[in-house]
Amino acid sequence: MQDTDSHLSNADNIPKKFDSISKKKEAITDQQVLIAGGGHVGLSFALLLAHHGIASTLLEKNSYPTISPTDDSTRSHYLDSRNTALSRRTVQIYQEIGLWDELQSHACRIDTVQISEQGSFGRAQLNKAEEKVESFGQVIENAWLGRKLLLAAQQAPLITLIDNANVTTVQQQTDSVTLSFNYNDEVENEQQLQASVLVACDGRDSTVRQLLDISTTTYDYQQTAIVGVVETDTPHEHAAIERFSPAGPLAVLPLTDPEGDGNDEYQQGYRRSVVWVCPTGEETRYLEDDAHFLQTLQQAFGQRAGKFTTAGRRGAYPLTRVLADKQVEGRCVIMGNAAHTLHPVAGQGFNLCMRDAHVLAQMLNAQVLKGADIGDAQLLKRYEKARQTDQKRVIRFCDAVVHGFTHPNPAIKLARNMALLAFDKLPNIKPLVATYAMGLKS
């Protein structure tokens, strides 16, 4: 599975079909938490806090669209949407805060995961019936996810949204943190907010992280992900197909029909999300030439997905791993892509961010119930330590897959194909891998 959202900026997370509006309350909620960055992670974290009764103010540098519960929810572009693979654990988190019922109409479950390498004999498959799960996850349209998260945040009394807000300074005191910002870069209109803790979810190039002078460790994969939607002549049957080529990992994921519930067993399902990874510098022709793009996909996937018939508009995203050297500084927490921007292979990036957000929200809630300081440095350091095992495992896994399946050495190629066969045949391996992929063990 591929995570087409994990490396994108917050601006890409906001649906574009609605007119822009700023939402600024006359009196800021008596917030306990400030959140910088209002993409999918920032909005989800604010909703998790609200679920626990914790007030927050969320600042977003872009304009939020006007959204009404009565807006037409019909897809505006049949083949132009970006999508994200949600792990089973992420789905559970959205169920926990009562949002999944609103999301699932535009989500399509993954029943099987097929893994193979182009031009090689190794292959493996995960099947939900064998693993005794409802599904391995869901693929959802980014615009729909962003729309529903924003609408829920706008309707939550404990969440204050401020858009067009540019963070300028962060100052920490003994018992609080103060954030200064202005609207639309109007320096004469600077304002300040104060709270017990600041959580930065403001993307790979995080302003807050830079203001806190937190350095990063970066790695350029020298790859570019081409992301879009295609149509095939045969139904997807809820199968995610992961294919490895010399250029990099590729995937097609099942999507919902233009109308109707993506979990309807009777749906036809000819739409598929596609992530095509190529060496940086080769992306232009794949973006501009539909016939070449479809032909290349066909060569890479063979008949596993049927015939690729139509390609929608595509976007290209250079792939770079960016890891914050630390995720806590005093009363400030670095989260989301600001903390770890990963390669989209296996769809782990956004789901890892959601597990981070869920754990921090629970820890802050426990602190509130004790009447203790939610910005306590020792508490936040415990959060950072608690998330290290899960984060390091996911980072190692993503890099091992990327480098292992692109290495040209024939001996390594033979070894990885034997490993795929072993994975498919040996008992007890699949359940363990499936559990990690679904985010159920962290």
**69: DSSP letter:** T
126/236 same-domain check: yes
- How far is Cα of residue 212 from the mean position of the Cα atoms in its chain? 24
Percent of the chain at pLDDT > 70 equals 77
Shared domain check, 227 and 124: yes
Number of residues written out for the chain: 442
Dump pLDDT digits (tens) for 245-264.
776 778 899 998 765 554 55
Same domain membership, residue 417 and residue 290: yes
* Residue whose structure tokens are 């599904």: 135
Shortest CA distance to 355 belongs to which of 316, 306, 389?
A: 389
**Number of folded domains that form the chain:** 2
Residue 136 within any structural domain of the chain: yes
Bridge partners, 217 (sequence order):
323
> How confident is the model over 150-179, as a mean pLDDT?
95
Residue 415 CA to residue 404 CA, distance in Å, equals 10
396-421 pLDDT tens trace: 888 877 766 665 656 656 665 566 55
Ranking 4-8, 85-89, 251-255, 288-292 by mean pLDDT, the lowest is 4-8
Gap between the Cα atoms of 86 and 88, Å rounded: 7
Largest CA distance in the chain: 66
Domain hosting residue 379, numbered range? 10-73+146-217+321-394
Same domain as 332, residue 315: no
- Mean pLDDT (the chain) is 83
What pLDDT is stored for residue 420 in this prediction? 58
401 assigned to some structural domain: no
Same domain, 135 and 228: yes
Q: Is 308 a residue whose pLDDT tops 90?
A: yes
CATH of the domain at 100: 3.30.9.10
- 307, 184: one domain: no
The CATH code of the domain that includes 184 is 3.50.50.60
Q: Which residue has the higher pLDDT, 31 or 332?
A: 332
Residue 3 lies in a domain: no
Q: How many CA atoms lie within 13 A of 241 on its CB side?
A: 23
Same domain, 137 and 225: yes
| Average pLDDT estimate for 85-112 | 92
Instruction: Answer yes or no: do 66 and 159 share one domain.
Output: yes
| Same domain (yes/no): 161, 237 | no
pLDDT band at 23 (very low <50, low <70, confident <90, very high): very low
Domain shared by 278 and 237, yes or no:
yes
pLDDT digits (tens, 9 = 90+) for 191-221: 999 999 999 999 999 999 999 999 999 999 9
Distance, CA of 16 to CA of 255 (rounded, Å):
20
Mean pLDDT of 356-374: 96
Nearest residue to 62 (alpha-carbon basis) of 219, 137, 167, 197: 167
Q: Is residue 36 part of a domain?
A: yes
Of the candidates 40, 29, 32, 43, the one whose C-alpha atom is nearest the C-alpha of residue 5 is 40
**In the prediction, which pLDDT does 117 show?**
75
pLDDT at 11 over 60: no
Tokens of 121: 């004999």
> Has residue 4 been placed in a domain?
no
CA–CA gap between residue 343 and residue 6 (Å, rounded): 8
Residues 6+ apart with CB under 8 A from 388: none
* Residue 400 within any structural domain of the chain: no
Residue 292 lies in a domain: yes
Q: Cβ atoms within 10 A of the Cβ of 318, count?
A: 13
Q: Tell me, what's the pLDDT at 14?
A: 38
Give me the DSSP letters along 400-433: HHHHHTT---HHHHHHHHHHHHHHHHSTTHHHHH
CA gap 160, 193 in Å, rounded: 12
Separation of alpha carbons 359 and 199, rounded Å? 13
User: Are 270 and 159 in the same domain?
Assistant: no
Inform me whether the pLDDT recorded for 26 exceeds 80: no
Asked if residues 335 and 200 have their Cβ atoms less than 8 Å apart, the reply is: yes
Among 3-7, 101-105, 125-129, 208-212, the range with the most confident prediction by mean pLDDT is 208-212
Are 157 and 271 members of one domain?
A: no
Contact 99, 107 (CB under 8 A): no
